[in-house]
Chain A
Amino acid sequence: MMNHVKNARIEAGLTQLQLAENTGVTRQTISLIEKGKYNPTLKLCLAICYAVGKSLDELFWIDEGEKP
């Protein structure tokens, strides 16, 4: 599912590895989430939001009918 994790991470000045360490997952998982190839659980979504200082809406919201 597409999201805005990559932009938010760059804005927060974090590398994939740093975000991975902050959220307790591997760098590959962060990479897959950014590419929209892996759908994280709500728990991980929240951990990413806390790490980059954004809300769930800002990172993961998609309007109805928009391509996921």
Chain B
Amino acid sequence: MKRITDERLILVNLKNFRIAYICQTVGLIAFLIYVGVTSGSRAVTESPIFFVLIVTNTLHAFLQMRVTADVEATEKKRKKPRPYYVFILISLVVGVLMGMISWFIDRQHPSFAWISGTIFFICFLGSFSVMYYLKKKRMDDDDAEE
């Protein structure tokens, strides 16, 4: 297949990918709903398609952060991002809370509480860190411009 160099066709290609992505996502969700109705909710979460859907959406959310950072940087101009330790504290609070909830639900397996708390802590800290890095980078770029 010949490599496309025409900028207009590259845009058309991207739009085609978007349509295909939407179609695929709708198809996967419809399939999972069907599995949920016929085999129960446990079968849905055990399905590899569910995993693919979650990973894709997480990846999309992370990629989308760059857009959000740009929009926020324009709207809230010159507002300094919160210090990094605040994000660590928030993530820690969420992790502890989720760990405690897991422990209250299933007291026989305290290791599950530790695992879920740690996962929540890492996930929150990861996304906060990416957002913090992007905002800081935008601030540095703005400073360099002035």
Contact = CB atoms under 8 A, between A and B. Distances in A.
A7 to B, nearest CB: 21
A36 to B, nearest CB: 14
A29 B9 CA distance: 8
B5 interface: yes
Contacts, number: 21
Nearest to A29: B8
A32 interface: yes
A35 B8 CA distance: 14
B7 A41 contact: yes
Nearest to A44: B7
Interface size class of B (residues with CB under 8 A): under 10
B6 interface: yes
Interface size class of A (residues with CB under 8 A): 10 to 19
B6 A26 contact: yes
Interface string A16-28: 0000000011101
A29 B10 CA distance: 12
Contacts of A40: 7-8
A38 B7 CA distance: 11
Nearest to B9: A26
Nearest to B6: A25
Interface string B14-30: 00000000000000000
B13 to A, nearest CB: 13
Nearest to B8: A29
B14 to A, nearest CB: 14
Interface string A36-58: 00101101100000000000000
Contacts of B8: 25-26, 28-29, 32, 38, 40
Nearest to A39: B8
A40 B7 CA distance: 8
B12 to A, nearest CB: 10
Interface of B: 5-9
7 contacts: A24-B5, A25-B5, A26-B8, A29-B8, A29-B9, A41-B7, A43-B7
